[in-house]
Every structure is written in C-alpha cells, then in structure tokens.
Amino acid sequence: MSVPDNHSPAMATSSSLFHLILFLVFFSFCLATKDRDIYHEIDVAKLLPTGNCSQTKAVAGNSLKVTHRHGPCSPLSVGKLSLSQRLTLESRRVSALQMQVKVGASFEALDFAIPAVSGDAIGSADYVVTVSIGTPKKAQTVILDTGSSVSWFQCQPCLGYCYKQRQPIFNPSASSSYRNVSCETKTCRSLSAKACSGETCLYFVRYGDNSLTVGFLGTEVLTITPSFVFKSFIFGCGERNQGLFSGVAGLLGLGRGPVSLVSQVARRVGSVFSYCLPGQESSLGHLTIGNSNKVTLPKAVYTPMLTHSQETSLYYVNLTGISVAGHLIPMSPTTFKSGTIIDSGTVITRLPHPVYIALRRVFRNAMLKFTLADPVELFDTCYDLSKVKRVSCPAVVLHYEGANVSLDASGVLLAMKDSQFCLAFAANKDPNDVAIIGNVQQRGMEVIYDLGAKRVGFAPGRCG
C-alpha cells in the first residue's frame, strides 16, 4: 500500500514563493532599519523656529519646566537675544571654559579686593527655570547652568548696581526665613577664598565674559515644587550684579562644587539630576532634581563621569569617536585624552580641528544632492533648503565610553536665517583645547548626571 504524497510540485512551488516573500520582506525591513540609522528623514518645517509656544504635559514631583530663554515659551519679556548675539557670547564662554581648564578656577578680580570663586563665562544663558525663594515665597526665573556651582539671586538693596529683571528683586529683609552665613562656618571656608563684612560671609563670582555678582552669602527656603521645599538653601544674595543677565533673577548652579544645588540636596533626594532640552525653542523641556521621582529610563545608556586634574566644577566624559551617516570618523586614539566637557551653557559643540574637518568632509559627501550656501557666523557648512520640503539629514552618533548616543536631527542641522541650515558643530581654535559638548547636541534627550555613581546617562526621545 503506497503512502499518499502530500508534497506535490504545486505545493512545493507555493511554499518556495512564500519563503521568498518572507525573505524579501525581512531584507527590506533590514535595509529600512539600516537607512534610518544612517539618515534622518525629516520635514524641513520641523527644523524651523516658530513664533508660538508648543505646550507639553505638566511636570510633577521634583521636576521643573525648562524653557529656552530667547524663545516664545520664555517667561521673560526682556533680555532676549538674536542667534547672532548668542553665538558671540557663547564664543566668550567657550574661551573662558578653555582657560579655566588650563589654569584652574582661581581667577583674580581686577577691580575688587575679594577673590573670585569662578572663572566661568555666563555666555548666552539659553535655558531658564522658575523657582521660589523666601517666606512668603517669591517666584524667580533663573539660568540653568551646569558650568557653575554658586547659585545666586539679585537682592535688595541694590544701591544702583542691579540690572532689570522680570520679577521684583528679592528683598531678604521681607523674608522671615533669611539668614546670613557666618564667616566661621565650613560653608564660607569652602569657597576658594573668603571675605567678610563683620561676621558675615561675602561671595564674589566673576565670569569669564566680565559679568559678575557680589554680595552676602545666606540661607533661605527654596521651593523647587510644592512637594519639594528645601529649608536651608545656601545662595549668594547679590547686591551688585552686572553683565548680560537682563531679565533673569539670577542663576541656579548645577556644577560639581560643594555649594551647588545638587550637592546641597544630595542627602535628601540623592546626588542625581537630569534635564531634557527641547528640540525647538518653541517647546518645553524639564529639569528633575534628585532621584525620588523613580523615573524609569529603560533606554538610558551611561558613560563614566571623569574628573579633570585642574578643576572640579565641570562635568567630563570620555568621548571616543563620532559616526556620520554610518561612517566612523578616523582619528587618533589620543584625540580626546584630556576628556570632553558636557555643558548646558555652551550652545555649539567644539571639536579638535582635525576631527571637525573629518566630520565636515563625511557630512558634505552625504549631502551632495543639496547645494552649499555661504557660511553663516561660525558655521562653514550651510545649505539653502528654502525649496526643499523634506531632507535626508545624515545621522550623527557620538560614541562615549560604554554609550552610543544618536543625536536628534535638530542637533545636527541648525536653522539659521533665510531658510539656511548649517552643520551645528565647530572647531576649536587651539589644538590643545578640550572638546565641549554643547546644548544643541543635547536636544531631545534626557541627560542624567548621577554624581553618586559617577556617571552621565542619555535617554532618547524624552522631550519635545
């Protein structure tokens, strides 16, 4: 008795065709996935700034809304700058950061007897948050800065030395919770040098662009959110302040120093903070202080936080390479031997000159179907996309030790004037200058500073 043959030629052909279709679908998926890893397909209109603020969901817990100081979401009505002005100021900040790395944070004041505690430059101060200080509490919009450790607010009496700000200037004598810091305290002694007015500790911060703030060191109630109130916040009560701070009430220092905000709240909520800078100036981001929110970041990747031998306020990571459109840029293994600064106050990432030239070459080759336009400001690789609706933007991946971070398209192509878009990187002037990761290259992702674990993390797609 013969066994029936269920595998007829027709069925075999059908089965082969089915497997061929599956293979083609899988192959097409792989190509599409690979293509997405190499290029960002994006509407040009999404890269352009808008005049309207795009509101996002409310923040909660230990989080604050982050707004671009010069965009339509900004709570400030004065002190806004054009992109050209901001880039000029940003160049000063970069120069000051480079000098700080080379000589340490012990700049001396030129016109005061009080030694400065910082050589930082304030730059264009792109991002701001609003907190409250005092009893009763007073809302104050301040600059968010990872490059500074001393937080300060303008204080009455100004004696003719305060600049114009949006909210009323804080008056410590009207707050029941304000206290001066004594000269004999550990806090006062922790400054690089101390000065006193009687028994009261004075502070003086002069930034690299010659902006400055000087006044009394005090403690006050700081309200970050209604559920997060810090009762003994140490800050500078500035009675003489000058520079390019117009509109803001002061600065929130998130550096690594002993009096920074993150250092002060570490025992209560942990020595962690994170922020998400929006991809557009017309969107909102957030700043989260501490780890009590238990935010789950399943896609976060981490790289070790390094410490530079010359100073301890800035944040350093180990950048090991850069890929453009799937191509790893060739570079010497010692290119980033001094570490790389990651900074919220620097706008544009600065790279060693040979690395920038290599990045530019690969980027231009990947953009050959678009016509190069005239250079704009510090950018030498620009394109006129006024007649283009969609652009295939080469993907840029920053390779850190243990972490590969793909940049948002808004961190690669920066919208300039007249529909011109430029490669948002620049070269260092001095071959000995350290590389700096600017805030444009941090857009659209959560950046996590975990001081306890000594690591910096990146989680994609966390804000607008």
Residues belonging to the active site: 145, 343
φ, ψ for residue 191, nearest 5 deg: -65, 155
**Cα–Cα distance measured from residue 153 to residue 77, given in angstroms and rounded to the nearest whole number:** 18
Whole-angstrom CA distances from 335 to 21, 329, 342, 372 are 47, 12, 16, 29
Q: Which of 292, 290, 133 is nearest to 223 (CA)?
A: 133
Judge whether 204 and 193 are in contact, CB under 8 Å.
Answer: no
Judge whether 100 and 433 are in contact, CB under 8 Å.
Answer: no
| Number of residues that this document lists for the chain | 464
φ, ψ for residue 52, nearest 5 deg: -115, 145
β partners of residue 419:
none
Q: Which of 377, 458, 397 is nearest to 87 (CA)?
A: 377
Maximal CA-CA distance, the chain: 114
Give the other-Cβ count within 10 Å of 31's Cβ.
Answer: 10
Whole-angstrom CA distances from 33 to 27, 95, 323, 395 are 10, 41, 17, 13
- Residue 422 CB contacts under 8 Å (≥ 6 apart), including other chains: 376, 379, 381, 382, 383, 413, 414, 416
**Cα–Cα distance measured from residue 110 to residue 212, given in angstroms and rounded to the nearest whole number:** 11
β partners of residue 456:
303, 449
3-class SS at 32?
A: helix
Q: Give 283: exposed, middle or buried? Use CB within 10 Å, 0-12, 13-18, 19+.
A: buried
**Cα–Cα distance measured from residue 302 to residue 125, given in angstroms and rounded to the nearest whole number:** 26
3-class SS at 31?
A: helix
Whole-angstrom CA distances from 56 to 53, 66, 264, 313 are 9, 11, 30, 32
